[in-house]
Structure 1
C-alpha cells in the first residue's frame, strides 16, 4: 500500500508533538473508511498544523475536545503565521481534526463529549459566551476560564454546578484571595473574571444580582496606571540619534517612526509587511493582535519616507507608483 508522505516541515511538527503516537493509526482509520490517498495526505497535513499549534499552546492530550478545536479554528487560523507548507483551509482542518478526535475518543485518550463532567461543560459554555458574545481575546478568555474554573471547583468540588448554591461570602473570599495577600491588581483580575461569569449566568436567566454586588472592588485611582510619555523635545532627540554608524540604522529609525507617528505597539510594528502598505493611497493596514480586528491608518509622509528608505537599503522592489504616493505629497 502506498505510504502517506508529508513534507519535512509538517512531518517534523507531527513527529515532535503529543499526537506522534497516533499518526499510523489515524492513517489506518481513514483507509478503513475508504478515503482516497490524496485526501488522507491532506488530512494528515492538516493534523500536523494542529499539532504544531498544540505545542505552541502547551496543551495536554487529555484537554483535547470540541472547545480546543474551536479555539484553533476561530482564534489561531484567522491570524495564522505558521511557516509554509501549512494547510489553512478551514473545512479541511475541521474535518481532519474531527476524525482525529473520534480516534482519540475510541482509544480512550480523551473523554467523549457526552461523558465530560459538569465543570468542563460549564467552562466550555462560558468560553463560548466570552468568544461569541463578549468578543474577548483568546488570552483573556484563557485567564478568566482558569480563574472561574478554580472558583467553581473550590465551591462545588465533584458536585454539579448550581449557581443558586453560591453565596456572597464565598464570592468575596475568593476574589480577595482567601488570605493569600493578593494585591489590588490580582483582586481586580479575579473580580472581573467572576463578574464576567456571573453576567453570563445572568444572561442565561439566573438571579445573580446579589452575587454581582458582593464582588469587592479594588482601589483604582484614575490615570494612575497611565505610562509616562516622552515630550516632543525628547522625541526629536530620539529621532536625531540614529547616526550613520548605528547598526541597522534605517530599520531602527523606521520602526521608531512607526511607534511615534502611528502609535503602534512593538508587536504590531514587527508584524508589518510590505503588502500592508498602500503607497498610492497613503495608508497602512494594521492587524490588531488583541482584538483580531484590522485598522487602516493614514501613512504620514515622514513615516513613509523612513520605511521606503529602509526598503531601498534592503534592495526591496518598491511599487512603481511610489514617487507619486499620497504620503509623499
Structure 2
C-alpha cells in the first residue's frame, strides 16, 4: 500500500464499511486494477465512511442520490480531519464499485424496489420497448429520458393518469424539447418516443388516439444532403498512418479496417467475438447489430490480417471472448463503442485528416463499392439495410452512372 495511505486502512476496517472491504478489494484485484489505484479507492472509501458516520447515515441508505450529495455538496466544502482523499474522479469510481457490491450482496435494496409511480411506469414501458418492439438499449435509454421529462412535468410524484393529458400539453412539450436538439431534425426523436409511449398505452386499453394525432413528425427532406466520404487520397493517407509504433497501434489498425473494409458500425466492432470469426471460411458473423439479427459477411484479407496481428502481438492475456478488450482496468472486459470511435478519431488525427465521425468510414466503403461497379442492391446487402430506400442516398455519389443518364442542360452544347 502507498505509505501515504497506509494509516487509513485501520480506520476503514473499524467503520460501517468494514464488513465489505475484503470483498471489494477482491473485486478490484480480479479486475486487475493497479495497486496504486486500489490504494486510492480505499482512501476514498475511508473519506466516505467518515462522512456517513458523522451524518449518522446507515449503510443501507447508500444509493446514487447519497453518493451525488457527497460528491457535489460535501466534497467542495470538505473540512474533514486530515488526511482525507479528495480526488473526485477516483472517489466517484470507488463509490460506484461499492454500490454495485452492496446491491449484489443484498445489503442495499435493488433500485427497482420502491420506485415512484413515474419510475414504475418507465420500467413497464422499458419492458415493452425491449421485449415487444426489440429496441436497442441506447434507443430505450434515450426514449426513457424523454418520457420521464413528460411524466415528471405532468404528474411529479403522483400516479400516472394518461387520460389527464390534453393535446395542448403534448404540443407544448414537443416545443420545449427543441432546447435539447442540436439541429431541427433532431426533434424527430422526442416525437418517436411520444408516439411509441402512447401506442404502448393503447395496448393497455387507454384512449390515446387524439394524443398520437398531435405528435406529427417535422418536415425532413429525405436525401437532401450528400453523405460525406473520404476520397482515394485520404483513404491512402489514413491507411499509411496506421503503420506506427504505439501502445494500441495494432488494435487501432484492426478497428479502422473493420469500419473501412466491412462498413461496420462502432457498436458492431465493439461487440465482435473470437467465436464470430471463421478463419477457414474467411467469414465473420455479426450478432449484435442495429437490426437485431445475425449476418455473415466475407472477411477481406487486409481486415483479417489486421485482426490477426492484434490478436497475436498486442491483445492482453484474458479469458474474455471479445476480440477487442480493455488494456486498462477493469481488465478482462470488452471495449465499448466510445473507445472504437476514439480510436478512429485518433487515426484521423495521425493522418492529418480534419474528420471526427467514425461513420464516415461506413459511407466511404459504400462509395467505393459503387465506384467499383456494384449495384445499389449489393451496397444495401453489404451495409445490411432492411430497406433499399435507406441506401438510395448513395446513388448521388455514383457520378459515373449519373453522368450517363443526365440530360443536357438547356442552352448548353451537347
Q: TM-score range by the shorter chain?
A: 0.5 to 0.7
Q: Name 2:395's counterpart in structure 1.
A: none
2:7 corresponds to 1:8? no
Q: Name 2:263's counterpart in structure 1.
A: 263
Q: Name 1:160's counterpart in structure 2.
A: 159
Structure 1 position 185, deviation (Å) = 3.8
Q: Name 1:296's counterpart in structure 2.
A: 296
Structure 1 position 136, deviation (Å) = 1.7
Q: Name 1:187's counterpart in structure 2.
A: 187
Q: Name 2:146's counterpart in structure 1.
A: 147
Whether the 8 Å CA contact 2:276–2:284 is kept in 1: the answer is yes
Q: Structure 2 stretches of 5 or more lacking a match?
A: 1-18, 32-40, 50-61, 68-99, 317-414
Which is bigger in relative contact order (C-alpha 8 A, separation at least 6)? 2
CA distance in 2 between counterparts of 1:181 and 1:267 reads 24
Aligned-residue CA RMSD (Å): 4.4
The verdict on how the C-alpha distance between 1:315 and 1:250 changes in structure 2, with shifts beyond 3 A counting, is closer
The verdict on how the C-alpha distance between 1:272 and 1:9 changes in structure 2, with shifts beyond 3 A counting, is farther
CA distance in 1 between counterparts of 2:136 and 2:253 reads 31
The verdict on how the C-alpha distance between 1:210 and 1:230 changes in structure 2, with shifts beyond 3 A counting, is same
Structure 1 position 167, deviation (Å) = 0.9
CA distance in 2 between counterparts of 1:315 and 1:111 reads 38
The verdict on how the C-alpha distance between 1:287 and 1:9 changes in structure 2, with shifts beyond 3 A counting, is farther
Q: Name 1:278's counterpart in structure 2.
A: 278
Moved more, 188-197 or 8-17: 8-17
CA distance in 1 between counterparts of 2:290 and 2:129 reads 14
SS of structure 1 residue aligned to 2:296: strand
Whether the 8 Å CA contact 1:288–1:295 is kept in 2: the answer is no
2:197 corresponds to 1:197? yes
Q: Name 1:177's counterpart in structure 2.
A: 176
CA distance in 2 between counterparts of 1:315 and 1:162 reads 53
SS of structure 1 residue aligned to 2:240: coil
The verdict on how the C-alpha distance between 1:221 and 1:291 changes in structure 2, with shifts beyond 3 A counting, is same
Whether the 8 Å CA contact 1:239–1:253 is kept in 2: the answer is no
The verdict on how the C-alpha distance between 1:310 and 1:132 changes in structure 2, with shifts beyond 3 A counting, is closer
CA distance in 2 between counterparts of 1:164 and 1:251 reads 54
Structure 1 position 7, deviation (Å) = 7.4
Q: Name 1:137's counterpart in structure 2.
A: 136
Per-residue deviation, residues 212-261 of structure 1 (Å, max 9, x unmatched): 11014222121246631234x346534663586x3357655443332222
CA distance in 1 between counterparts of 2:242 and 2:209 reads 61
Q: Structure 1 stretches of 5 or more lacking a match?
A: 22-50, 63-92, 317-329
TM-score computed with the length of structure 2 as normaliser: 0.46
SS of structure 2 residue aligned to 1:284: strand
The verdict on how the C-alpha distance between 1:121 and 1:267 changes in structure 2, with shifts beyond 3 A counting, is closer
Q: Name 1:82's counterpart in structure 2.
A: none
Whether the 8 Å CA contact 2:122–2:148 is kept in 1: the answer is yes
Structure 1 position 164, deviation (Å) = 1.6
Q: Name 1:46's counterpart in structure 2.
A: none
Whether the 8 Å CA contact 2:170–2:215 is kept in 1: the answer is yes
TM-score computed with the length of structure 1 as normaliser: 0.57
Q: Name 2:344's counterpart in structure 1.
A: none
Whether the 8 Å CA contact 1:171–1:211 is kept in 2: the answer is yes
CA distance in 2 between counterparts of 1:178 and 1:261 reads 38
Q: How many residues align structurally?
A: 239
Whether the 8 Å CA contact 2:202–2:208 is kept in 1: the answer is yes
Structure 1 position 151, deviation (Å) = 0.9
2:230 corresponds to 1:230? yes
